């Protein structure tokens, strides 16, 4: 069932430009007549001419819009200088209304171009169908445009131009929710390592639960990879690392570790390196992003430690990898626990809580309840100390610094951090990153 219709008048052939009102009127008549639901939302995408007044251009379309009272409050004309700007504006309108099933009405020759823009701007959350823009007297005359065959894909140079246009547009957008903020540890020496933990401010993601510096894209979320890439570019500029040599873990909620320079596993929740200029990172949106640094052997690591990874010992897997691969002494390794859900908020079913109780009874609060509170950080510290990490070499601000300059509870601070526990399935992601300086 179509929830919204996008009419693309952006690049009409020259011989049709003078008949734009007639084309729009015919298309709206068909939508009004054939829609499977009453009055879907309709967005008309038009090119704003250089130096042209947006209001005057919109006024020129009014005669074609006046007769469609059922669409009146659900119809919007979007003018922009580029397709990227127009389509991104329409995406914002769709997301505001939580719409995801869209019919695109456009000239046949425009279809393959539009598909490239859609692939960049939209994830698998959305469904699209395409119709030819043409004069039609009834529903049956609206022909569905067939996709190009395998050998007729859009030329690579055209795709590159579209990608460049999108990148330039996203780079021009203002930061949301304030300036980009990076939290840094007092424990990791900044003359050897570049590191930090991100917050949710300073990016361009606009959906409330993802706004604004979301650093992870998923087919199940509305933030596309191209937006996450722009957020990462802004982070890299602020932090001082090269986004082209940036590597994040491939989460499986387990304990596999990737050794940079060796064969990359399909999935891994930990990553280590001794290569200079390579930035490694672990995400978190309640799970703990854990950073590791050995200033003696000049090696570092990052781990994503959720409740499953914590029980599987992902943090000690990082330590063991640093020892075996780089000859690190366990007593030289520094560990910093980043922003993560605290024992004040995080609960698990009783069966899962038993595993944490076995690590130490203090890792669980209200143990006899159906959903006890779990202290992931305490469990991580205990396992690290049992593995030989010195207590003074572990930074967990919830116990070592009551001012909490790094280890905030993500669920308790919606202004600073994303939280899956708090926000539900369409949640954003922050991360911890570290690299060895050149």
Query: Could you report the per-residue pLDDT of 93-108, keeping only the tens digit for each?
Result: 999 999 999 999 998 8
Q: In terms of pLDDT, which residue wins out, 428 or 53?
A: 428
> What stretch(es) of the chain map to CATH 3.60.140.10?
182-436
Which CATH code fits 182-436? 3.60.140.10
Whether 3 has a pLDDT exceeding 70, the answer reads yes
pLDDT for the residue numbered 197: 98
pLDDT for the residue numbered 63: 62
Q: In terms of pLDDT, which residue wins out, 25 or 270?
A: 270
4's enclosing H/E stretch is strand 4-8
Whether 69 has a pLDDT exceeding 70, the answer reads no
pLDDT for the residue numbered 51: 59
pLDDT single digits (tens) 123-155 = 999 999 999 986 443 443 333 344 445 446 899
> What stretch(es) of the chain map to CATH 3.40.50?
4-136+154-172
Whether 27 has a pLDDT exceeding 90, the answer reads no
User: Average pLDDT, stretch 295-316?
Assistant: 98
Q: Which of 63-77, 197-211, 237-251, 279-293 has the lowest mean pLDDT?
A: 63-77
Query: How many angstroms separate the CA atoms of 99 and 71, rounded?
Result: 16
pTM of the model: 0.91
pLDDT for the residue numbered 422: 95
pLDDT single digits (tens) 79-89 = 899 999 999 99
Contacts of 114 (CB under 8 A, 6+ apart): 8, 83, 104, 106, 130
pLDDT for the residue numbered 172: 98
Looking at domain 4-136+154-172, its CATH class is: alpha beta
pLDDT single digits (tens) 195-233 = 999 999 999 999 999 999 999 999 999 999 999 999 999
pLDDT for the residue numbered 23: 75
Whether 378 has a pLDDT exceeding 50, the answer reads yes
Whether 121 has a pLDDT exceeding 60, the answer reads yes
User: Average pLDDT, stretch 370-376?
Assistant: 98
User: Average pLDDT, stretch 256-260?
Assistant: 98
pLDDT single digits (tens) 277-304 = 999 999 999 999 999 999 999 999 999 9
pLDDT for the residue numbered 160: 97
Relative to beta strand 394-395, strand 334-337 is: parallel
User: Average pLDDT, stretch 185-198?
Assistant: 97
434's enclosing H/E stretch is strand 430-436
Highest mean pLDDT among 70-84, 143-157, 361-375: 361-375
Helix ranges (DSSP H) in 144-224: 156-172
Cis peptide bond N-terminal to 212, omega within 30: yes
Contacts of 56 (CB under 8 A, 6+ apart): none
322-360 burial, b at 16+ Cβ within 10 Å, e below that, comes to: bbebbebebebbbbbbbbbbbbebbbbebeebebbbebe
């Amino acid at each position: 069932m179509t929830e919204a219709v996008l009419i693309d008048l952006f690049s009409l052939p020259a011989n049709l430009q003078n008949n734009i009102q007639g084309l729009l009127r015919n298309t709206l008549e068909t939508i009004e007549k054939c829609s499977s639901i009453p009055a879907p939302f309709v967005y008309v995408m038009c090119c704003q001419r250089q130096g042209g007044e947006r209001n005057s251009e919109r006024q020129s379309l009014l005669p074609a819009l006046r007769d469609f009272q059922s669409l009146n409050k659900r119809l919007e004309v979007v003018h922009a200088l580029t397709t990227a700007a127009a389509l991104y504006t329409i995406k914002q309108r769709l997301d505001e209304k939580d719409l995801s099933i869209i019919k695109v009405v456009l000239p046949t020759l425009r279809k393959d171009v539009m598909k490239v823009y859609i692939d960049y701007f939209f994830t698998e959350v959305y469904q699209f169908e395409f119709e030819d823009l043409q004069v039609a007297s009834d529903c049956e005359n609206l022909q569905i445009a067939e996709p190009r065959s395998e050998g007729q894909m859009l030329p690579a140079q055209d795709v590159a131009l579209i990608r460049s246009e999108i990148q330039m547009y996203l780079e021009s957008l203002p930061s949301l929710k304030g300036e980009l903020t990076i939290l840094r540890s007092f424990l990791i020496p900044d003359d050897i390592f570049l590191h930090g933990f991100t917050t949710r401010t300073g990016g361009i993601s606009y959906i409330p639960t993802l706004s604004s510096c979301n650093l992870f894209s998923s087919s199940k979320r509305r933030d596309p990879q191209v937006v996450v890439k722009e957020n990462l570019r802004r982070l890299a500029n602020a932090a001082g690392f090269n986004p082209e040599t940036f590597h994040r873990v491939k989460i499986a909620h387990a304990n596999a570790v990737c050794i940079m320079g060796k064969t990359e596993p399909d999935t891994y929740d930990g990553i280590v390196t001794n290569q200079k200029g390579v930035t490694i990172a672990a995400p978190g949106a309640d799970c703990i992003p854990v950073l590791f640094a050995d200033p003696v052997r000049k090696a570092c690591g990052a781990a994503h430690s959720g409740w499953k990874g914590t029980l599987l010992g992902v943090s000690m897997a990082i330590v063991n990898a640093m020892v075996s691969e780089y000859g690190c002494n366990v007593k030289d390794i520094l560990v910093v626990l980043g922003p993560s859900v605290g024992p004040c908020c995080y609960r698990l079913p009783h069966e899962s809580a038993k595993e944490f109780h076995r690590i130490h009874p203090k890792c669980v609060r209200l143990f006899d309840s159906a959903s006890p509170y779990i202290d992931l950080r305490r469990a991580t510290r205990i396992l690290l100390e049992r593995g030989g990490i010195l207590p003074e070499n572990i930074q967990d601000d919830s116990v070592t610094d009551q001012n909490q300059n790094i280890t905030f509870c993500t669920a308790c601070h919606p202004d600073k951090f994303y939280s899956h526990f708090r926000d539900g399935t369409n949640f954003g992601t922050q991360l911890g990153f570290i690299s060895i300086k050149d």
